Amino acid sequence: MDMEHVWLLPAIPVVIFAVIGLFGRLLPRGGDWLAILGMGAVTVLAALAIVDFQGDNIAVWSEEWMKISDGSRVVELIEISTYVDSITVVMLTAVTIVTLMVMVYSVGYMAGDSRYGWYFALLSFFAAAMLTLVVSGNLLMLYLAWEGVGLASYLLIGFWWEKQSAAEAAKKAFITTRIGDVGLLIGIILLWRGSGSFDIQEIIHHAESGGFDQTYLTITMLFLFAGAVGKSAQFPLHVWLPDAMEGPTPVSALIHAATMVVAGVYLVARMLPVFDTVLIARDVVLYTGLITAVMAASMALVTSDIKRVLAYSTVSQLGFMFVALGVGAVTAAMFHLLTHAFFKSLLFLGSGSVIHATEEQEVEQLGGLRRKMPATTITFTIGAIALAGIVPLAGFWSKDEILVAAQEGAPAIAYITLAATAVLTAVYSTRLVLLTFWGEPKNRSVHEHAHESPPVMVIPLLILTALAVVSGFVALDGVGEALGFAGGIGEVVYEGAHGHAYALNETVAIGATIASLFGIGLGFIYWWGCAARAEAARNWAPELHALLVNRYYIDHLYQATIDRVILGLSGVVGWFDRRVINETGVDGSAQGLGYFGLRLKFLQTGRIPNYALAMAVGVIAIALVAFGTN
């Protein structure tokens, strides 16, 4: 496909959204086939565009959106524009494939839902917004799409809004990310203020030629990064993502694992040349990622809800990507983004298959499902191994890239923390697989009506499994060459100072593999068969366990802040408005006037002698004053 027509990619789903949204009730099957056909077309078009992609960065298409002029001269021009480069290509690959898989899977998962058609309309809307985000060439349009995916996420988390918990989770997700978005919008406007443009390439050019003041740019990039922190659920704004699991599971797979939550990573990768000019801001990215990676992984260890474990895992893996960006390794970040999109959406869809079959998502109630759900068991296990980073599955290659980058470009603490997190990742992956699929069923009634999911759900699982196995190979020169990009992904994603051909660093690779195997071993020791050892793990350090179960008390802290500080302030302001401004200022002045009127009316007695007396006093007073001044 011609690059000039890349705007078609978001245009198709937005039209489908409108059609299903308005006329879905008249269409057979609520219009799900239309959404899937449309997404299929988008996937094909994107594939054609990717094949055509020549490897150079190209600005493609722009159109005036609004302009400020004084009649003759244009003062301010705001455009919408598309832009395609290698980062876009990686994003397009992940977004189109996962969206299509999730849509197909949803036909089975959402069957019989009362808002079935509306669900597919929302998925199309999300796809449109996400694709706009990916292809946009300027920051204002990116912000537009950024809020669009946020809205889609809000509506889909709250899709079953009859449940109060879903409504609350949707609210929490939107408001938390919105706090980050305040920073994002401030950052975008500050960039515009310094460079006079919203165009990303112009801003990068301006920064690289030293057009910004360093302090100004540092502050600006930190604001911008706040947006990424919110969207990608990084510490301290990570709290919304686990709650977002209230949404339908395919939505979690699509939005909260593979696509929307990586928008923050995408934004920082896109703006990395600017971050490179202010290294303090880049260090903030690095340490934010690092703290998040280890913190989220530790919480995943003790979580008993199968989807929440995966949610923490996602937060942790996003932390890995930010660490890579923090050391400037954009290739490693984008590579991990791609493989993670495949194996994490696989894991989520697998968990969805379990939930669909058992209507249960507490691992304490599951167990022994391997006999009843063989396909789900195998695909989920492969996904978990990929997550743990065992050669030759996808996760191994991309995580290895990040570890190498951290070892080369960051203080030793970063590398050590990441390695420790890799162990934790292997432990919780193993725990999740063992508790869900192995051992004996813990709840007979749940186990009894469990069954394998229908083919429409299993086939996407199989396709994603295949991708989780092979997508790591794009790092290899030979595979890259066969796919049309010589040198593997390392050459493609970034040219210039960051680019390098993939070379396996044996020390790191062997170290990481040992770490992962050690983690898997730990998982087996504690959760293989014997419940007593799992109990022992829990009681090993009760305070630590309580800290993790309570999510480091961060949610409690935020809730208390909202209840006490923010609503308290609102109460004070409301009281001030009613009592001081309104009752004292407005009503008070009215009553004051009324009071004076009440008093002064007694001067009007209606008796002539009184008036005559007052007149006489007045005349004498005026006469005295007149004489006095003369």
C-alpha span between 187 and 166 (Å, rounded): 31
Q: Which two tokens stand for residue 11?
A: 């245009």
Question: Is residue 545 a contact point for another protein (CB under 8 A)?
Answer: no
Number of residues that bind another protein (CB under 8 A): 53
Residue 475: exposed, middle, or buried by beta-carbon count in 10 A (0-12, 13-18, 19+)? buried
Q: Which is nearer to another protein, 220 or 430 (CB)?
A: 220
Position among 108, 148, 326, 383 found at the interface with another protein (CB under 8 A): 148
Quick check: 71 binds another protein (CB under 8 A)? yes
Are the C-beta atoms of residues 135 and 83 closer than 8 Å to each other? yes
181 lies in the site for another protein, by CB under 8 A:
yes
Which CB atom, from 69 or from 214, has the smaller least distance to another protein? 69
User: What ranges in 239-305 are assigned the alpha helix state H?
Assistant: 240-243, 249-253, 263-270, 272-275, 279-302
Nearest distance from C-beta of residue 251 to another protein, angstroms? 16
Which CB, 530 or 586, lies closer to another protein?
586
Task: Fill in the DSSP letter of residue 452.
Answer: P
Q: How far is the CB of 305 from another protein (least distance, A)?
A: 21
Q: Please, which residue, 536 or 567, has the CB nearer to another protein?
A: 567
Residue 198 or 527: the one with the smaller Cβ distance to another protein is: 198
Whether the Cβ atoms of residue 312 and residue 348 lie closer than 8 Å to each other: no
Q: Which is nearer to another protein, 156 or 170 (CB)?
A: 170
606: amino acid identity, one letter: G
Interface mask toward another protein for 128-147; x: CB under 8 A: ------------x--xx--x
Contact 448, 329 (CB under 8 A): no
Shortest gap between Cβ of 66 and another protein (angstroms)? 5
Burial class of 126 by CB neighbour count within 10 A (0 to 12, 13 to 18, 19+): buried
d(CA 259, CA 91): 8
Percentages of the chain per state (helix, strand, coil), in multiples of 5:
80, 5, 20
Cis previous bond, 10, omega within 30: no
Nearest to 93 by CA among 398, 265, 341: 341
| β-pair partners for 224 | none
Q: Which of 26, 44, 51, 175 forms a contact with another protein (CB under 8 A)?
A: 175
Binding part of the chain for another protein, among 73-81, 452-460, 509-517, 610-618 by CB under 8 A, reads: 73-81
Site membership for another protein, residue 185 (CB under 8 A): yes
Instruction: Report if residue 566 touches another protein, rule: CB under 8 A.
Output: yes
Interface pattern 31-70 for another protein (x via CB under 8 A): ---------------------------------xxxxxxx
Phi-psi category of residue 529: left, alpha or beta, with phi > 0 → left and psi -120 to 50 → alpha: left
Q: Residue 550 interacts with another protein (CB under 8 A)?
A: no
Q: Nearest approach, Cβ of 92 to another protein (angstroms)?
A: 22
Q: Which residues bind another protein (CB under 8 A)?
A: 64-71, 73, 75-76, 140, 143-144, 147-148, 151, 158, 161-164, 166-168, 170-171, 174-175, 178-179, 181-182, 185-186, 189-190, 192-193, 566-567, 569-571, 573-574, 577, 581-582, 585-587, 590
